[in-house]
């Protein structure tokens, strides 16, 4: 096929479109383009493609031998002037004709793309294992894929054209067409088929109107088969099922710790250096200072950060259960131990275990923890052989362990094993530079939670926060802001919003005689019982018995009243 020589007059949008369109045709070659505007977009494109560029169209016509010349400027006078210049064998196509030709070419290309997409979509839908069925807004079935036929045994020819209200009146598609809303997880059996299926159907919305609906369904027998396979899993997997979610919890970073005070920045620098090593770390500090946050960051920035991070609150688990929680047990080790259970140390193997409230651990378990550190092995309850582990231990306490050692309630050798690196977090009252920075973070957090738009603190509100002693530390600060943001109606947190909380605290602290609030009396009685019986697990059990409450209730109230001895 002879190649056509083409010239273009006009290098604006029309000329540019012609260049882009005609370059895809092998039998067309653009020999030249002309435009009186030297900065026309098409001239630059033509230069990149090696097309000769002219300023005067008459010069271009004289110097080039064209089969066709496209005039796309729309200048009728220019067209008349060119009639005499163009040779008889050269066809002149005006702007309107060129525009029509481009529209036809583009429509053809668009149709080819749509056809290609349709073919690709058909391949994708037919390769799906699920059954797929589509209907129009009247319920007439327009399409079924091969998965539909495989699951139901009904050929497409017997389904397409049928009305879904006739063949499956109680199905998901019929429900969507009636309600206009998605229908998820609907069990059904198609008329003419024995297949039990679970269907998920949704409306098809075009330009805001429902034009039909589509359903995707699975053979329910496959789900039953998979369920049976899960039930045949080994006892080890059953034991891990409840624990596996915890394997990577607690991933954190020191960037999560909000601080402005030099003392906290110095502590974070120490902790960052400690994170890279495998030494045991003891985190100390009052309740609510953020010990768990530091533990998360220490693991998250350690070489073990892609391994499990297991947390254990030694104060929240009764002593009788804590050993099996830490070390696991063999099947049949005691009544109710029907299957093997892996303990926290085994689950943490390769990673980190965080022993929170380590000061509440009994002397018997302290000795076993010491052996774990020394030997890097544990022994399950009811087991007869040691199990090797590779665990880094991070522990934390709000108690004075040296004082507990002096009282004989904590092992000195374990203390030195745990306290290779000490990270002490000062109370909030000793780092008041952090209060405003934390407040800003909590304002943003609770704005999102409660859909508020609080901008910040007034000066008097800020002064009130800085003057308070914060016995509950960061946890107390966060709780106050959650309550305050919830109650706030304006854009600023004022002194008036905060005063009710601080006034209640002052009244409670001043009330030393006469009528006491019930909560204050309860707090004092719990503290008195703990002072008398001690804060070991056994002591707490005796205190709970003397107070005539359960051990769990005692723990909850100790947390509520922030009781620490």
* Whole-number pLDDT of residue 127: 66
* CA distance linking residue 395 with residue 284, whole number of Å: 9
Length of the chain: 565
Q: What does pLDDT average to in each consecutive run of 10 residues of the chain (565 residues)?
A: 84 85 83 88 88 89 88 81 81 81 73 70 70 88 84 83 86 88 82 75 89 84 65 53 49 85 92 92 92 92 91 86 86 69 88 92 91 90 85 93 91 93 92 91 92 90 88 90 88 87 58 61 84 84 87 85 75
Which residues touch 527 (CB under 8 Å, ≥6 apart)?
Answer: 561, 563, 565
For residues 217-241, b (16+ Cβ closer than 10 Å) or e, as one string? Answer: bbbbeeeeeeeeeeeeeeeeeebbe
* Whole-number pLDDT of residue 551: 86
* CA distance linking residue 21 with residue 32, whole number of Å: 15
Strands 91-93 and 196-206: unpaired
* Whole-number pLDDT of residue 536: 83
* Whole-number pLDDT of residue 245: 47
Instruction: Please give the helix or strand (H or E) that residue 521 lies within, else none.
Output: helix 518-533
* Whole-number pLDDT of residue 511: 47
Smallest CA-to-CA distance from 352 within 378, 379, 390 is with 390
* Whole-number pLDDT of residue 107: 72
* Whole-number pLDDT of residue 410: 93
CB 304 within 8 A of CB 349: no
Distance of CA 333 to the CA centre of its chain: 40
């Amino acid at each position: 096929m002879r190649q056509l020589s083409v010239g273009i007059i006009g290098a604006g949008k029309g000329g540019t479109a012609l260049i882009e369109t005609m370059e895809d045709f092998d039998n067309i070659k653009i020999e030249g383009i002309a435009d009186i505007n030297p900065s026309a977009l098409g001239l630059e494109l033509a230069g990149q493609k090696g097309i000769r560029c002219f300023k005067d169209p008459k010069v271009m016509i004289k110097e080039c031998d064209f089969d066709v010349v496209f005039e796309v400027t729309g200048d009728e006078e220019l067209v008349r002037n060119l009639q005499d210049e163009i040779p008889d064998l050269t066809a002149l196509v005006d702007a309107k004709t060129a525009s029509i030709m481009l529209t036809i070419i583009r429509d053809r290309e668009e149709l080819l793309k749509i056809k290609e997409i349709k073919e690709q979509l058909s391949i994708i839908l037919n390769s799906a294992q699920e059954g797929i069925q589509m209907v129009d807004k009247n319920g007439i079935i327009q399409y079924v894929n091969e998965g539909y036929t495989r699951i139901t045994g009904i050929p497409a020819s017997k389904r397409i054209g049928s009305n879904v209200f006739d063949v499956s009146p109680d199905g998901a598609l019929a429900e969507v067409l009636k309600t206009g809303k998605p229908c998820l997880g609907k069990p059904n059996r198609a008329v003419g088929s024995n297949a039990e299926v679970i269907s998920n159907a949704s409306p098809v919305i075009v330009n805001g109107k429902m034009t039909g609906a589509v359903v995707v369904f699975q053979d329910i027998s496959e789900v039953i088969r998979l369920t049976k396979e899960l039930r045949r899993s080994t006892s080890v997997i059953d034991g891990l099922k409840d624990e596996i979610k915890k394997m990577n919890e607690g991933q954190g970073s020191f960037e999560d710790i909000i601080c402005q005070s030099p003392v906290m920045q110095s502590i974070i620098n120490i902790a960052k250096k400690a994170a890279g090593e495998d030494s045991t770390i003891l985190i100390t500090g009052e309740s609510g200072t953020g010990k768990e946050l530091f533990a998360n960051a220490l693991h998250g920035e350690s070489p073990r950060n892609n391994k499990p991070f297991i947390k254990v609150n030694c104060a929240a688990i009764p002593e009788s259960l804590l050993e099996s929680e830490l070390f696991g047990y063999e099947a049949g080790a005691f009544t109710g131990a029907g299957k093997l259970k892996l303990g926290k140390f085994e689950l943490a193997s390769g990673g980190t275990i965080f022993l929170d409230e380590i000061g509440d651990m009994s002397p018997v378990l302290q000795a076993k923890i010491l052996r774990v550190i020394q030997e890097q092995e544990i022994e399950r309850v009811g087991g007869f052989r040691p199990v090797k582990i590779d665990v880094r231990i991070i522990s934390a306490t709000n108690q004075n362990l040296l004082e507990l050692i002096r009282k004989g309630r904590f092992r000195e050798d374990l203390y030195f094993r745990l306290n290779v690196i000490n990270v002490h977090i000062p109370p909030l009252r000793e780092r008041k530079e952090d209060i405003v920075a934390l407040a800003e973070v909590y304002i943003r957090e609770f704005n999102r939670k409660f859909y508020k738009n609080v901008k910040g603190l007034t000066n008097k509100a800020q002064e009130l926060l800085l003057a308070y002693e914060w016995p509950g530390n960061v946890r107390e600060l966060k709780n106050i802001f959650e309550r305050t943001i919830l109650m706030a109606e304006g854009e600023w947190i004022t002194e008036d919003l905060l005063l009710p909380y601080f006034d209640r605290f002052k009244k409670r602290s001043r009330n030393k005689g006469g009528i006491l609030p019930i909560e204050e009396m309860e707090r004092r009685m719990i503290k008195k019982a703990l002072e008398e019986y001690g804060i070991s697990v056994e002591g707490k059990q005796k205190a709970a018995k003397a107070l005539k409450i359960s051990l769990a209730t005692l723990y909850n109230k100790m947390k509520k009243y922030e009781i620490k001895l």
